[in-house]
Structure 1
Amino acid sequence: MSGAIRARHRLGAAAAYLRSAPGAYMWLLVLFVTTVALHHIPPQFEDDFLRQRSTNINELSANPVRVFLTSAMWIDGGRWLPYAVLYTVFHAPAERWLGTVRWLAVCIAAHVLATLAGEGALLQAIRDGTAPRSAADTLDIGVSYALAGVVAVLVYRIAAPWRYAYLAVVLCVYLVPLAASPTFTDFGHVVALLVGFACYPLTLGRGKPWNPKETPAALGS
């Protein structure tokens, strides 16, 4: 097989892989575009620009639907490549396994419910006087809550005993920061994790769990 034919085969395989998880990779493309755009915003305006698209208490009170959508379209910090890896490792397999509609339902549920829980806890802290009133305008954007929900629901994709090892790692990743130096974002991540676990009914009828020993392939295959 010539080099040109091999290259075409590889491109075809890559295109097929991307088409197998259209929602995840379209979302990733949006994040790439907005990350490039963010790098062209003068630094002195960046915080205000992102805050208007943030799910902080003030914006949620004024424009809840808009900020729930826009907050999931931007990355705080401007580093896109790590998210490309995370979307490929978690979101794409989950979408191929669950189907786009069910995968999106997990993402939306985790994003919305974890945001409401985190901001609700922050609002109570402000009312109690344990957090400053300025915290109502805190920057809160990103896709980490949806990611946590998807990471959690993938527990049901893996066969025992591998499932328990995966679950132990997931719990360590999210619970250790909450126990060590808790923030409202850490609390939101744990809520998103619980939402993902609660999405078990969406996994019914999606095939038998993946056994790495028997089928050493991708989670979503």
Structure 2
Amino acid sequence: MRERGTAVVSGVARAGRATWAYIRRAPGTFVWLAILFVTTLIIRHVAPAAADRILERRSTNIHYLEKSPIRVLITSALWIAGSGWFSYFVLYNIFHVPAERWLGTLRWLCVAAIAHVGATYISEGVLYWSIQHGYAPESARYTLDYGVSYALAGVEAVLTYRIAKPWRYVYAAAVVLYYGLDLIQSRDFTSVGHFSAALIGFACYPLTRGRGEPWDPAEALRAVRRRLSKAN
């Protein structure tokens, strides 16, 4: 019994060390996720009216971009719109974690920030043009606009350069198709923002230079097959 207990403790310790090693290799991503977890709990545990006030004050709409742009551009990226926190936990591990490990925390953060800020101004600029030309009501300048999806779209796109050719082109086409179809179907300022963020991510190619050899999916698959053959 004592040996079994020792084995369990040892297994838990190993799992803990492995988890910490995984987190430590992408610190920015997991700090961001931790903040999003806290802000999600806040929104879920306050009254709906209070939640609306909180999000309204952190919205990158036309009104606040004119009044306090730096504040809202930062705080809008600390709250989740739409899907729950766990969905973003999965997406961050699929896209942000490998991007941060590949680029390094500073370059990864630059890509995310450039996509977030650039797509925000492009989408709100389109909305402002629509208001000025009578295609949208004046009240649209107060529309809620917050969340992390623009930054995510930019990081998804920049990961194109992590992949070896010809798979790189398949991945890039999938990103363009995903956000392009949403733009065609929705035709709103948010879909404009997502598509713009993806294009900005592609344009961040200079930040990817000197970051090692591209990852080859075919070679990775062959390596897995070799390990399985040895195991058998």
TM-score tier (shorter): over 0.9
Partner of residue 117, structure 1? 122
8 A contact 1:102–1:202 mirrored in 2: yes
1:47–1:168 CA distance, 2 compared to 1 (3 A): same
Give TM-score scaled by structure 2 length: 0.90
Q: How many residues align?
A: 217
Partner of residue 22, structure 1? 27
8 A contact 1:122–1:184 mirrored in 2: yes
Partner of residue 172, structure 2? 167
Q: Which has the higher contact order (CA 8 A, sep 6+)?
A: 1
1: CA distance between counterparts of 2:199 and 2:176? 11
Per-residue deviation, residues 94-147 of structure 1 (Å, max 9, x unmatched):
000000000000011000010000001101110101000010000000000000
Deviation at 1:45, TM superposition (A): 2.5
Match of 1:38 among 35, 43, 59: 43
Deviation at 1:9, TM superposition (A): 1.3
Partner of residue 191, structure 2? 186
Runs of 5+ unmatched residues, structure 2: 1-5, 224-232
Question: Percent of pairs identical after alignment?
Answer: 54
Higher helix share: 2
Match of 1:66 among 68, 71, 91: 71
Deviation at 1:213, TM superposition (A): 2.1
Give TM-score scaled by structure 1 length: 0.94
8 A contact 1:118–1:184 mirrored in 2: yes
Report 1:1-221 matches (<5 A).
2-77=7-82, 79-215=84-220
Q: What code does the residue aligned with 1:57 have?
A: I
Deviation at 1:179, TM superposition (A): 1.1
Which aligned runs of 4 or more in structure 1 are off by greater than 6 angstroms? Answer: none
8 A contact 1:35–1:78 mirrored in 2: no
Q: What code does the residue aligned with 2:219 have?
A: E
Rg larger in structure = 2
